[in-house]
Amino acid sequence: QVQLLESGGGLVQAGGSLRLSCAASTHTYDIHTFESYAAGWFRQAPGKEREFVAGINWNGDSTFHADAVKGRFTISRDNAKNMVYLQMSSLKPEDTAVYYCAARPFRATTVDPYMEYHYWGQGTQVTVSS
């Protein structure tokens, strides 16, 4: 089991940048360390369904970004610090949403954007003004 805590959200003008962070904590009795987890970022705007934003495999060698954010957002991770990041640049008002970090014990060389995640953070609000 892993607990996830997002931070870094806020209010930014269109064209600006933000970096979201996700701190993961596992219990000492867990058989999985965070290195065993695939991770992802999702977002949910008011009145819309939650959507996949980006995913990263267990060691960071493989990433996948949704078309809506490709070239503007970058997911990364630091397993030594149990952290996952989402660097967001060239932000648009339509990026306004609550952003969630997610994880699942899964070791693979690629990222499946349709994979079901088991653990979720509580989210951090990102608001982009025009």
CA distance 104 to 22: 14
**Among candidate residues 118, 126, 130, 115, the one with its CA nearest the CA of residue 44:** 126
Q: 79-100: per-residue pLDDT in tens?
A: 999 999 999 999 999 999 999 9
Give the residue among 94, 127, 129 at the shortest CA–CA distance from 10.
Answer: 127
Q: Which residue matches tokens 């003008």? A: 13
Per-residue pLDDT at 33:
83
CA angle 67, 19, 57 (to 5 degrees): 55
Instruction: Tell me what the mean pLDDT of segment 106-112 comes to.
Output: 89
Q: Give CA–CA dist 5/17, Å, rounded.
A: 20
pLDDT for position 35: 87
Q: How many CB atoms lie within 10 A of CB 105?
A: 18
Question: Mean pLDDT throughout 30-52?
Answer: 91
What pLDDT band is residue 30 in, cutting at 50, 70 and 90?
Answer: low
Asked if the model's pLDDT at residue 111 lies above 80, the reply is yes
- Percent of the chain, pLDDT > 90? 82
